[in-house]
Chains A and B, each alone.
Chain A
Amino acid sequence: MADTVFKLNRAGSIALVTIDNGEDYRVPTTLGRSAFASAVSVIDELERGDWSAAVFTGKPFVFCVGADIDEFGRIEDPRDGIRAGHSLFARIRALPFPTVAAINGACLGGGLELALHCDARTIASNVRHIGFPEVALSIIPGWGGTQLLPRLVGPEAAARIIVLNPLRQNRLLTAPEAVELGIADRLLEPVEFVDESLAFAASLSIERSAPDWSELETVLRKTRARIDDAVHGATRAPYAALDLIAGARDWTVEEGYAAEEQAMAELLVNPQAQASAYAFTVVERRSKRPPNLPDAKPRAVQKVGIVGAGLMATQLATLFLRRLEVPVVLRDLEQSRVDDALASIRSDVKPCLATIVDGGTGWEQFEGCDLVLEAVFEELDVKREVLGQVRKIAPDAILATNTSSLSVEAMGADVGLHFFNPVAVMPLVEIARTPNTTDEQLATAWDVVKKLRKRGALVGDAPGFVVNRLLTRMTTVLMDALENGNTVEEADEAILSIGMPMAPSVLREMVGPAVAQHVLETMHAAWPDRFPLTAPSGGGPRTLEEIRDQALAAVADEVQHLLAEGVVGDPADVDACLILGAGWPLFLGGVVTGARTTAALS
């Protein structure tokens, strides 16, 4: 990755500093070791020179996205890196003239900490990525973030931004939200952003009132309860971050820096931090690039058919309509079901799209479709029948199935497109190829998934694909425990203690016990030994630790089978599927890494 350089130019009497890595917006600017060296020499010049103010900004579309995650694995003494940040940022804070961070684009982690060390902040109204993702990576914003943010916006907002947002799928702030919360002082139009930020710095006068600490105890109690709900104590970082925010009330900034250093030193040596960095890389980089995608040119999809008008089919139709903006037709047995689905879809999309979705009970409406996706009842014969009907009407269409566990090949589909419920929220789509899937069909499937703004994972046509297979295998351990006298609550608690986002019993209710049972039966038919329908292994109730360890071991074992069968090409694919499709926590790193992490922790 390109080295980040701090570039100093003179704008009249104002120092204009650009944080730039010389690449375009697709390679965001990070703060690695070389960045610090260049930043130190710029600060030297700022301290020496005769400046009236300083403005820090980024290359177009990016302010700075913080520490370089690639350097995580190469840290010899974590304290060195923390101290380097504190010392640099403290010098910016101590500059004898007004300093302004002109936040022109993505501003995350260490980038936001740099901005917080300035006297004031302008922000371009189109910025959509502001926040502290550190806690999601099992660390804390340790370059003064936990100390300066609560001093600026108070403990409640600081706890939300530093602790809770990272636990909500890393929710980030938009520019108007950042201004509303008091992180930025002035919302500016992007068109003349740097010019106007310079003018803002030239006449800077900011009066700040002290933050309100009176509700600190309530904030701490409520935030702790929410952390417990999310991670059940399985990761230390959010609790540590909250303690540091609380400490900011009474500490000097220097004492706060020291506390951050201590916390980071403990968190960074924890395998969870390394695991998180790995998982983050898997999700952010790997799953965007298919390693084994054929070179074929994807077909232009200009009409889409959905077989079925149930809950899943309605969600799928809405997604295809909204993202592909091409005509979509639905088919179900009863017109009333179709009408309900159409009404729901039309109320959910912009008016110009509402006119190009239609449906009925006949097959002829699929004529001319480039892609038809079936989302009917999970029964092989039913699926085979409807796909056969579609094939007659639309012989050139790519036929896809949203089955969660049945054989794509056996039902006569060309490719599997397995979406997760709720469709609008879940980022993963398992794209299952059969021996008959052509390169063009696979390339089209990948292209469509990309246009739907989902993350595709290429998998083989094996029962349950990846996510359901692994979760079902985990369930067999829980069933075994239940049949041996453990309670549902104990099984839930064991899984939640790993850091999974949802209790298995809740998940089972959401998916529907019948569906879950159906998936299990499919898996059992394929591998009766590993997926028993009953589990008479005996031995009485297990401890929570035993359940947890057996569950992780079962998943790890099933991964070996997936790899051996070639269902996925690489363990990282499995991890991407689990993180994106099952909410597997980042701090576990993934399955293989995760098993190691859990062992190291216990």
Chain B
Amino acid sequence: MRELREVFFVDGVRTPFGKAGPKGQFWRTRADDMAVKAVRELLRRNPAIPPERIGDVVLAATAQVGDQGLTLGRDVALLAGIPHTVPGFAIDRMCAGALTAVTAAAGEIAYGAADVALAGGVEHMGHHPMGDDVDFNPRFASERLIDESAAVMGRTAENLHDLFPAITRERADAFALTSQQRAAAAWANGVMRETVVPLAVFTDDGWKVAERDEFLRADTSLDGLASLKPAFRAGGRVTAGNSAGLTDGATAAFLAAEETVGELGLAPKLRLVGYAYAGVEPHLMGIGPVPATKRVLDQAGISLDDVDLFELNEPFAVQVLTWCDELGISADDPRLNPYGGAIACGHPLAATGVRLIAQLAYGLRERRGRYGLTALCIGMGMGAAILWENVQ
């Protein structure tokens, strides 16, 4: 029987995240150019990895058309100046796009198909509004294969509030406030400097340097959050304040096989312990990380108490709170999203996964922790979780 190879996360970097739409900092910047910037910065930060050694470039995007079309991994690799001998492809699992790029690339490495792989994602939600050009199969509705609310993520979040009445608007707002406060503190310490690369962008006001996440609201208050109107349902609980805004952003990461780490003298950050994807009812997509987390812990034979850090995506506060309640983790646990989350920085769908991993690596190093978990919920009812071990 063949042996699989250990896979390491070497490094990850992202662009700042911007508000989707004509007023956002990336409105006149192409999605593939954003990914090129992240990829080139990654190459620059890791000079020990010769670009020609990259076995595959796996980039995720939810909308694979326009400036996110043309099998993105290949397109971006060529645009970034990676030799043409290096192949690439595009991948899609909506919000877990980058996470899936990482596990797909890890599979190539573990199997021996590649020694080093580049994985990441990009989503320019300004250029590609969610659901744009999607042609829903009428059978979904006529045969009631899924609840009609499953197509609108904000409505699935309201469904969670319905299902778990203990998760109130007040708890959601309080979680959002913590996210903003932790993110503001994170920009003052080193984590963002280590994981975010500024880039010059052309705008209606001329060239500017995008260096910050545009959704940051350091001055957020509970009163301010409480005053916001529900966005998806009259009398609902999900607001612009306790959910992630529509976002533009790109990420890129290096993964490498154990022997390649030794051969090239790399200093990897994390060892991939295991990963799991799970399906749930599409109209309750936010619950997806719960079974995914349980499954990956079971696989690895590790208990939740052994995990020192959790980087969870925060499309909606209620979604994180659901995970907390189901797994018995307190919402203000210092192990959970210590640098804030998507409510504060934004969630460019297919790009987010690598942001979580890069921040997890930083956090585990700071805390001298051992195990860490990255998890996301996924549209159409799925969850994703990767378990990592700190090797720094």
Contacts and interface: CB of A to CB of B under 8 A. Distances in A.
Interface of A: 7-9, 11-12, 16-18, 20, 22, 57, 59-60, 189, 191-192, 194-195, 198
Nearest to A192: B40
B207 A16 contact: yes
B80 A16 contact: no
Nearest to B197: A195
A9 B81 contact: no
A189 B207 CA distance: 17
Contacts of B206: 7-9, 16-18, 20, 59
Contacts of B79: 191
A194 B200 contact: yes
Contact of B207 (A9, A12, A22, A192): A9
Nearest to B204: A22
Given A59-B202, A60-B202, A198-B200, A191 B207 contact: no
A198 B200 CA distance: 9
Size range of the chain B interface in the assembly? 10 to 19
B80 A191 contact: yes
B81 A11 contact: no
Of B36, B80, B206, B207, most buried by chain A (CB within 10 Å of CB) is B207
Nearest to B202: A60
Given A11-B200, A59-B202, A191-B80, A16 B40 contact: no
B300 interface: no
Given A7-B205, A195-B209, 9 more contacts: A9-B205, A9-B206, A11-B200, A11-B208, A16-B200, A22-B204, A192-B40, A195-B198, A198-B200
Interface string B208-243: 110000000000000000000000000000000000
Contacts of A18: 202, 206-207
B37 interface: yes
Interface string B9-41: 000000000000000000000000000110010
B202 A192 contact: no
Nearest to B199: A195
Contacts of A12: 209
A349 B37 CA distance: 37
A60 B201 CA distance: 10
A191 B40 contact: yes
7 contacts: A9-B209, A17-B206, A22-B204, A59-B202, A191-B79, A191-B81, A194-B207
Interface of B: 36-37, 40, 79-81, 198-200, 202, 204-209
A58 to B, nearest CB: 9
A195 B200 contact: yes
A328 B206 CA distance: 48
Contacts of A192: 37, 40, 199-200
Contacts of B207: 7, 9, 16, 18, 57, 194
Contacts of B202: 18, 59-60
A198 B36 contact: no
Nearest to B81: A191
A59 B32 CA distance: 19
Contacts of A194: 200, 207
Contact of A16 (B36, B204, B209): B209
Nearest to A60: B202
Contacts of A16: 200, 206-209
A47 B201 CA distance: 25
Chain B CB count within 10 A is highest, among A8, A20, A60, for: A20
A320 B206 CA distance: 42
A11 B40 contact: no
A195 B37 CA distance: 10
A8 B202 CA distance: 12
A510 to B, nearest CB: 46
A12 B200 CA distance: 12
A9 B208 contact: yes
A557 B153 CA distance: 77
A192 B198 CA distance: 11
A31 to B, nearest CB: 16
A191 B209 CA distance: 15
Contacts of B37: 192
B22 to A, nearest CB: 14
Nearest to B79: A191
Contacts of B36: 191
A20 B208 CA distance: 13
Nearest to B198: A195
A445 B93 CA distance: 50
Contacts of B40: 191-192
Contacts of A22: 204
Most chain B CB within a 10 A radius of its CB, from A22, A192, A198: A192
B380 to A, nearest CB: 36
Given A59-B202, A60-B202, A195-B199, A189 B208 contact: no
B31 to A, nearest CB: 15
